[in-house]
Amino acid sequence: MSYQVLARKWRPRSFAELVGQAHVLRALVNALDNDRLHHAYLFTGTRGVGKTTLARILAKSLNCETGVGSHPCGECSACREIDEGRFVDLIEVDAASRTKVDETRELLENVQYAPTRGRYKVYLIDEVHMFSNHSFNALLKTLEEPPPHVKFLLATTDPQKLPVTILSRCLQFNLKRLPPEQIRDYLEQILEREGINAEAGALRELARAADGSMRDGLSLLDQAIAYGGGEVREAEVRTMLGTIEREFVYDLVRALAAGDGKALLARVGDAAERSTDFAALLAELLSVLQRIAVHQALPGEGMDEYADAPEVIAELAAALTPEDVQLHYQIGLIGRRDLPLAPDPRGGLEMILLRMLSFRPAAAAQTPAAAAPARPARPGVPGAASQASAPAAPTATASGGSGAAQPAGDDWPGLIAAMGLRGLAGQLAENCTLISCGDSRVQLHLDPAHQHLLTPALQAKLAEALNRCLGREVRLEIDSGSGTPPPAETPAQQQARRSQERQQAAESAIAADETVRALQDTFNARVQPDSIRPLDDA
């Protein structure tokens, strides 16, 4: 006896055996048990979710010799012949191969005649959207006034292509994609009946690769059994599917968080040695970034066994700021669209990853230079302004190494620069002023206009950076009372004030410049105020 593939061998033969689609089953069962039958049913959904199987079970329910109902016996000649595909009153049609109007008319000519053996003559038309317009018109005439002994069961993966005149004459049921856990549980049941050993991780990979289609899941299971020589093992399934190991993707994210371009390119080189699909690798990276973003916004949410290890996602979420995650995701999303245009996929992926590093926000806020009088860059260009250069201040760092001065405890702007905070934690620091900095306690005052930044997570991140910078454990206290006057300007307010002073100096320099005045007098020229920028802002 020839081998029968699992998708055919284990095709459900009753409503009770069908996996999922409870919303459709409830409607059909109630209609059959209460004798409220329509003459035309339309089943829609992606491939492999049970459209044709459901139609055949409905045909059995209509023609079972025990009577119309939702529980066909499965033993009578009508039920057996329908299961075997040889019931004379079940006419199955593949619309993709019968698109001509003459063929459709020939098919429907016998509609008027009573069924030969069954209670109803059932027309099961698969992929009905493939009919031509003339064929739809021929079908429409029959759907408008069908004989009482005829039922139409239509199935399609693309209902948008059906004329509204057809849709309006059918009861439409939309079959949903099956979740991975349902596919995995069904595959596990099949393997138990077949007596085949399987690893749980292998079934998870197969269920995920099935992408909502039970038929695809069973076909992949057939392939995995053959590949594994009668067993289903996770490592072999990953090799068969070409699945990218998540740990490989985690290493990419860790390298991004550390700003380590060398490690990034090394991992891409490892992927090339394994003949990895670079488009699939980028897609996996985007999936992990999405999980990280969800965890950062709602810790603990969106985690399941088919996605990522929660502890790893928590680790990566702590290593990246939300701003970096969003930026990396957006760059990767655009890069995925442009990857086919790259000269070679590996180089395209490397450029996308390097772009993620290159466009990261600055690590530390720069202390603005003191304002200086501005002058025109060159005669005849009134919109440009320059600023007298000033010696660059040494950059403060937490390490205190050579060439970098350790900021004093009362130098709050210097401490901010040394901490190197980015994102919301950096904004929290820049909108605070220092009240006191003792051996065991640091007190800050938060600008009341930025109270929304005072969250436990941001305060903990600021405290951690402060301890690391000072080299000792201190308790951080932040006063955000709106009634308390600020002791001094915050670094953010200082930067805004100095920026405004530089802008005013630049505008004054332009207004007093003799060349600019000559251009105004000679050519009736006007200076556009919004085009004037200090040199360091240009």
pLDDT, one tens digit per residue, over 178-191 is 999 999 999 999 99
Query: How would you class 446 by CB atoms within 10 Å of its CB: exposed for 0-12, middle for 13-18, buried for 19 or more?
Result: buried
Section 238-246 average pLDDT: 81
Is the pLDDT at 309 greater than 60? The verdict is yes
Q: Give the pLDDT confidence score for residue 244 in this predicted structure.
A: 77
Helix-then-strand count for the chain, H and E: 22, 10
Is the pLDDT at 394 greater than 50? The verdict is no
Q: What is the DSSP string of 444-476?
A: EEE-GGGGGG--HHHHHHHHHHHHHHHTS--EE
| Statement: 6-174 belongs to CATH 3.40.50.150 | no
pLDDT, one tens digit per residue, over 326-373 is 999 999 999 999 999 999 999 999 999 999 998 876 543 333 333 333
Q: Give the pLDDT confidence score for residue 379 in this predicted structure.
A: 37
Residue spans of the domains in the chain: they are 6-174, 180-241, 246-358, 412-492
Query: How would you class 196 by CB atoms within 10 Å of its CB: exposed for 0-12, middle for 13-18, buried for 19 or more?
Result: middle
Is the pLDDT at 305 greater than 90? The verdict is no
pLDDT, one tens digit per residue, over 455-514 is 888 999 999 999 998 888 999 999 887 666 667 889 999 988 988 899 999 889 898 988
Section 13-28 average pLDDT: 92
Q: Give the pLDDT confidence score for residue 482 in this predicted structure.
A: 64
Q: Give the pLDDT confidence score for residue 37 in this predicted structure.
A: 93
Contact 421, 462 (CB under 8 A): yes
* Long-range contacts of residues 315-320, Cβ cutoff 8 Å, at least 24 apart: 316/250, 316/253, 316/254, 316/257, 316/288, 316/292, 317/292, 319/253, 319/254, 319/257, 319/258, 320/253, 320/256, 320/257, 320/292
pLDDT, one tens digit per residue, over 124-174 is 999 999 988 888 888 888 898 889 999 999 999 999 999 999 999 999 999
Q: How far apart are CA 332 and CA 346, in angstroms?
A: 14
Is the pLDDT at 298 greater than 60? The verdict is yes
Q: Give the pLDDT confidence score for residue 485 in this predicted structure.
A: 64
By 3-state DSSP, what share of the chain in percent is helix, strand and coil, each rounded to 5?
Answer: 55, 10, 35
C-alpha angle 415-417-423 in degrees, rounded to nearest 5: 110
Contact 515, 376 (CB under 8 A): yes
Residues 465, 470, 471, 472: is their CA dihedral positive or negative? negative
Nearest to 62 by CA among 133, 146, 123: 123
C-alpha angle 165-37-85 in degrees, rounded to nearest 5: 90
Rank 23-37, 103-117, 367-381 by mean pLDDT and report only the highest.
23-37
Strands 171-174 and 385-387: unpaired
Q: What is the mean pLDDT of the chain?
A: 84
Q: Give the pLDDT confidence score for residue 375 in this predicted structure.
A: 40
Q: How far apart are CA 413 and CA 362, in angstroms?
A: 16
Contact 399, 407 (CB under 8 A): no
Is the pLDDT at 264 greater than 50? The verdict is yes
Q: Give the pLDDT confidence score for residue 134 in this predicted structure.
A: 85
Residue with tokens 């693309």: 158
Is the pLDDT at 177 greater than 70? The verdict is yes
Nearest to 46 by CA among 207, 155, 162: 155
The CATH number of the structural domain formed by 180-241 is: 1.10.8.60
Lowest mean pLDDT among 61-75, 203-217, 321-335, 406-420: 406-420
Q: What are phi and psi of 422, to 5 degrees?
A: -125, 170
Q: Give the pLDDT confidence score for residue 372 in this predicted structure.
A: 38
Q: Give the pLDDT confidence score for residue 308 in this predicted structure.
A: 55
Section 208-215 average pLDDT: 91
Q: How far apart are CA 439 and CA 472, in angstroms?
A: 8
Q: Give the pLDDT confidence score for residue 386 in this predicted structure.
A: 36
91: β partners:
123
Q: Give the pLDDT confidence score for residue 402 in this predicted structure.
A: 37
Crossing angle between the packed helical segments 261-273 and 345-358, to the nearest 10 degrees: 160
For residues 245 and 497, which has the higher predicted lDDT (pLDDT)? 497
Look at domain 412-492 and name its CATH class: alpha beta
Q: Give the pLDDT confidence score for residue 248 in this predicted structure.
A: 85
Q: What is the DSSP string of 135-150?
A: HHHHHHHHHHS--TTE
The CATH number of the structural domain formed by 246-358 is: 1.20.272.10
Q: Give the pLDDT confidence score for residue 112 in this predicted structure.
A: 86
Q: Give the pLDDT confidence score for residue 476 in this predicted structure.
A: 93
Task: Extract the tokens encoding 349.
Answer: 């992926």
C-alpha angle 216-235-280 in degrees, rounded to nearest 5: 60
Q: What is the DSSP string of 226-294?
A: HHTTS-B-HHHHHHHHTPPPHHHHHHHHHHHHHT-HHHHHHHHHHHHHTT--HHHHHHHHHHHHHHHHH
Nearest to 498 by CA among 389, 411, 375, 369: 369
Is the pLDDT at 392 greater than 70? The verdict is no
Percent above pLDDT 70 for the chain: 87
